[in-house]
Structure 1
Amino acid sequence: MIKINRHTLDNGLEMIHFEDKSTQMVALNTMYKVGSRNESPDHTGFAHLFEHLMFGGSVNIPNFDTHIENAGGENNAWTNTDRTNFYITVPRNNAETAFWLESDRMLSLAFTPKSLEVQRNVVMEEFKQRNINQPYGDVGHLLRSLIYKRHSYRWPTIGLKLEHIANATLDDVKDFFFRFYAPNNAVLAITGNISFDEARRLTEKWFGPIPSRAVDTTQPPCEPQQTEERRLEVERDVPFDMITIGIPICSVTDAEYPTLDSITDILTTGQSARMIKNLVQEKQIFSQVDCYLMDTVDPGFLTVMGRLNKGTTFETAETEIWGEFDRLKTELVGDYELQKVKNKFESMHIIENENYLSLATNIAFAASLGDVEHFNREVPNYLAVTADGIREQARNLFRHEKCNTVLYKAKK
């Protein structure tokens, strides 16, 4: 457990801080509470487009990267369904440069036709490489379209259609920016070798003058409870058959999430995990198999994805997967197996957050969920998972009427 310092500016910006004197670096992590869930069905991919546009020049700084490099720093960003995240790391003696740069692009982007054209082409090329030209690249689109019928999670962060980005206008992107990129819709996490007083002073100096904005608080439509199995079979020019199963789950903030996450670890994390050992190594049903959760603000889904070995039928693959599900529903997980999962989570949590930048990102995410102490409760919550709880959640989760299955068939 760590002591996280907090300060909220008059314009609504939430600043959180942790001092780490073991490094000579400082990290600024700015997390905006906007992602693909905030897009409309006819304008998708905008949150991801903005991840790129934010590096194309702000109102007073035409070349962002040059100043970062001159300060001896690095920067990058990522986008998901719920959040858009930007980070800068600089030597501690150049910390103010990071505050200056990050505050200027929160104030306003340059919004030039050239920047839009450049970044739009980059994003469109990424869409083509990842989702059109890459084998199995459209499986995320296919699975989400089965699981979600109303909620905006029904398209991935990259967007629903390529033409949504291709047709984006300067007015479109300006409108999106001023609806979501605001101090009162962001968390600024500052970590590394900088005191709380200095971090607060620089935050007030550079971010304080930015006015709050009328943030769009429209929530996505609630997804109706699924009551029947959904299936889709497609044929593509890929080397091997693949099966993907998606099952709706809770939000990352719900009490049962650590138990569900532990189930995925039991199934596929590590060479001794059940599906790896039984279905890959021993029975050789799959060449590879994975199971993971969506850690989303709204109810997400669990995914099981397996690439079939030659000679294995889809029927056999499904039967074997459900056999592992049924074991969790009927048998209690052993003490050793469960403790191994807990130890792994605790050790990875400690190791990851020894890095000042990783810590900044993780406490920013916790704060963006409404309670920064969610970060400190993570390990205790995972250590509290029980074998009875796993069996109970498995019985509720692994039911055919909740199942969405994509059979991805290789052309002969």
Structure 2
Amino acid sequence: MIDFESYTLDNGLTVLLHHDEQRTVATVNVLYKVGSRNDPPHRTGFAHLFEHLMFAGSENVPNFDDALQLAGGENNALTSSDYTLYYDTLPAENLETALWLESDRMRKLRFSEASLANEKRVVIEEFRETCLEQPYGDLYHHLNGLIYKEHPYRWPVIGQDISHIRGARLGEVKDFYYRYYRPDNAILCIAGNFDPATIRERIEYWFASIPPSDASLPRPEIAPEPPQEEYRHLRVSGDVPSPVIYLHFRTVDRLHPDFPATDILSFLLGGGRSSLLYRRLVRDTELFAEVSAGINDNLEAGGIIVEARPSEDVDYDEARIALHAAIAEMVEHGISQEELDKVVNRLEQRNHYREANISSRANELILFALLGQPDLINTEMESYLALTVEELNEVARRYLRPENCVELEYLSDPAE
């Protein structure tokens, strides 16, 4: 059981506190409810650009990293489709430094043409290196647009086109900041060793005076992605070492009752050497060199993703047919109680590891708070343990259907 308390400041900032006096460190996580889904369509990659801008200096802090390192801390950040998360870890006695730093950049960034130009160069170079110069680097530019037709999940987090970032203007940056980077659109989580008697007063001191969102900058509503009703297929080619097949089966949003079952299904399909696809396609037939499956846990319209790399010198078409046949086998024959028990045991081990790490606890807690249900950190595993074989097989039949599938074949350019 992970004990925590939650409350909200008058300016709308959600606060989560998890005290653990056995730790010598404290973590300060700040999550903003803005991700690539909130990018303007002509400025895709904007949320990711902002992750970089948040380290470029604020009203009283010219360099965030330097100030935190002087306090013995370290930090990082990530941008997803649904949120942007900043997290700091530092000695418990220096917790106040992290509160100061995070509140200062929530209050007011130091905007300038110079800092914007510099961060644009950094992001554009990252785009070139990861999307244009690496094999399969443009995968999600193709795959996301195949999965999603209307929702902004259809572009990757880094952006759809490099020109969208190149054309970003300072006025647009300020608008984005004051629209989304406000306390009423954020969650603050402090975990580890801190003084429970004074922590609320210190949070109030640093954060309570930051103004909430202005009504003149409303956050646009995003319409849900329509249901998928037909099999979708795309074949692309590029300068890649070998062909790879990607399958995506549309499932459910993160809070749907079927989510735990779809998570388990992804493990059963391709979660290691004991998984169905590995046994059928790698170990038994050697048709594939690699095969794996995982969960696309977007807050809306998630899915199960399969990645399969055929072995060299095998008949590609035969391998592709075998991949689809192995998934159909799971749907037709179902899974056994023994297989379910093995996966649940693995998930319990994963859960125990997360609980043992204070940073993982903070990350889990703040993400469940994003969903509006922080108590899930203690109760979600019950949903996994309660699943029956019959329920799991019914979920497999419901979602692992051809008309619910997107297939992307990424092929090697033919030799000249």
Shorter chain as normaliser: what TM range?
over 0.9
- Kept in 2, the 8 Å contact 1:73–1:91? The answer is yes
The SS at the match of 2:190 is strand
- Kept in 2, the 8 Å contact 1:24–1:92? The answer is yes
- 1:164 Cα deviation from its structure 2 partner: 0.5
The SS at the match of 1:197 is coil
Is 2:228 the partner of 1:226? yes
Distance 1:258 1:250, change over 3 A: same
**Separation (CA, whole Å) in 1 of partners of 2:252 and 2:315:** 32
Is 2:100 the partner of 1:109? no
RMSD, matched Cα: 1.3
Give the partner amino acid of 1:9: L
Give the partner amino acid of 1:319: I
Q: What is aligned with 1:83? A: 83
Query: Which residues of 2 match residues 108-127 of structure 1 at below 5 A?
Result: 108-127=108-127
Deviation by residue 1:228-285 (Cα, 9 ceiling, x = unmatched): 2211111211111111112211111111011001001011112111111221122112
Give the partner amino acid of 1:238: V
**Separation (CA, whole Å) in 1 of partners of 2:139 and 2:52:** 24
The SS at the match of 2:145 is helix
The SS at the match of 1:396 is helix
Alignment match of 1:264 (pick from 263, 266, 272): 266
The SS at the match of 2:43 is coil
Alignment match of 1:391 (pick from 390, 393, 400): 393
Q: What is aligned with 1:279? A: 281
TM-score when scaled to structure 2? 0.96
The number of residue pairs the alignment matches comes to 412
Worse-superposed segment, 395-404 or 211-220: 211-220
**Separation (CA, whole Å) in 2 of partners of 1:42 and 1:147:** 20
**Separation (CA, whole Å) in 2 of partners of 1:303 and 1:134:** 21
The SS at the match of 1:77 is strand
Deviation by residue 1:166-196 (Cα, 9 ceiling, x = unmatched): 1111111111111100110111010000133
Q: What is aligned with 1:195? A: 195
Q: What is aligned with 1:310? A: 312
The SS at the match of 1:27 is strand
**Separation (CA, whole Å) in 2 of partners of 1:22 and 1:173:** 42
The SS at the match of 1:149 is coil
- Kept in 2, the 8 Å contact 1:34–1:47? The answer is yes
Is 2:45 the partner of 1:45? yes
Q: Percent identity?
A: 39
Worse-superposed segment, 182-191 or 295-304: 295-304
Structure 2: which 5+ residue stretches go unaligned?
none
Worse-superposed segment, 171-180 or 212-221: 212-221
Q: What is aligned with 1:254? A: 256
**Separation (CA, whole Å) in 2 of partners of 1:313 and 1:158:** 35
- Kept in 1, the 8 Å contact 2:7–2:15? The answer is yes
Alignment match of 2:341 (pick from 339, 342, 346): 339
Runs of 4 or more off by more than 6 Å in structure 1? Answer: none
- Kept in 2, the 8 Å contact 1:325–1:394? The answer is no
**Separation (CA, whole Å) in 1 of partners of 2:292 and 2:272:** 10
Deviation by residue 1:347-369 (Cα, 9 ceiling, x = unmatched): 11111221111111110010111
Query: Which residues of 2 match residues 2-401 of structure 1 at below 5 A?
Result: 2-214=2-214, 216-401=218-403
- 1:305 Cα deviation from its structure 2 partner: 1.1
Give the partner amino acid of 2:79: T
**Separation (CA, whole Å) in 1 of partners of 2:91 and 2:41:** 42
- 1:40 Cα deviation from its structure 2 partner: 2.1
Worse-superposed segment, 258-267 or 244-253: 244-253
- 1:314 Cα deviation from its structure 2 partner: 4.0
Give the partner amino acid of 2:114: K
TM-score when scaled to structure 1? 0.97
Distance 1:374 1:186, change over 3 A: same
- 1:323 Cα deviation from its structure 2 partner: 2.0
- Kept in 1, the 8 Å contact 2:271–2:294? The answer is no
The SS at the match of 1:30 is strand
Distance 1:225 1:314, change over 3 A: farther
